[in-house]
């Protein structure tokens, strides 16, 4: 399950953790989830996170009921706006507008 989207303000090393600063659209940091530096693939994950600074992102965590996403993260991804389904595909009937598209 994805957590976000939030603006990724920065990626920091604090102690034994890689920390993301996740902000609202106004730039106010809301969350600072951590990822332990000793996890496999940390260097690649850090490069990816740093490449997303300034972008809207979502994070994922392992077992979110135990490792709450406001505290821990495992993966970070660029956020993509969901697309609305076409009204022509959302219903089983063909409206006049959809019929015009089909005939084109």
pLDDT surpassing 60 at residue 97: no
Total-model pTM? 0.77
pLDDT tens, 35-93?
999 999 999 999 999 999 999 999 999 888 899 999 999 999 999 988 776 665 555 55
Instruction: Delimit the domains of the chain by residue range.
Output: 3-78
Is the predicted pLDDT of residue 12 greater than 90, yes or no? yes
Please compute the mean of the pLDDT values over residues 6-20 and round it to a whole number.
97
Contact call for residues 94 and 88 (beta carbons, < 8 A):
yes
pLDDT score for 82: 81
Closest CA to 18 of 56, 74, 66, 63: 74
Query: Is the pLDDT reported for residue 103 higher than 50?
Result: no
34 vs 7: CA distance, rounded Å: 16
CA torsion, points 18, 36, 44, 26, in degrees to nearest 10? Answer: -30
Q: What is the pairing mode between strands 29-31 and 17-23?
A: antiparallel
Q: Are 32 and 100 in contact (CB under 8 A)?
A: no
Distance (Å, rounded) from C-alpha 77 to C-alpha 75? 7
């Amino acid at each position: 399950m994805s957590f976000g989207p939030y603006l990724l303000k920065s990626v920091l090393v604090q102690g034994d953790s890689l920390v993301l600063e996740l902000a609202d659209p106004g730039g106010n940091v809301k969350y600072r989830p951590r990822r332990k530096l000793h996890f496999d693939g940390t260097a690649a994950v850090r490069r990816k996170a740093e490449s997303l600074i300034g972008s809207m992102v979502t994070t994922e965590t392992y077992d979110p009921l135990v490792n709450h996403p406001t505290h821990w993260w495992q993966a970070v991804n660029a956020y993509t706006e969901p697309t609305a389904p076409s009204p022509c595909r959302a219903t089983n009937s063909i409206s006049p507008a959809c019929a015009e598209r089909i005939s084109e």
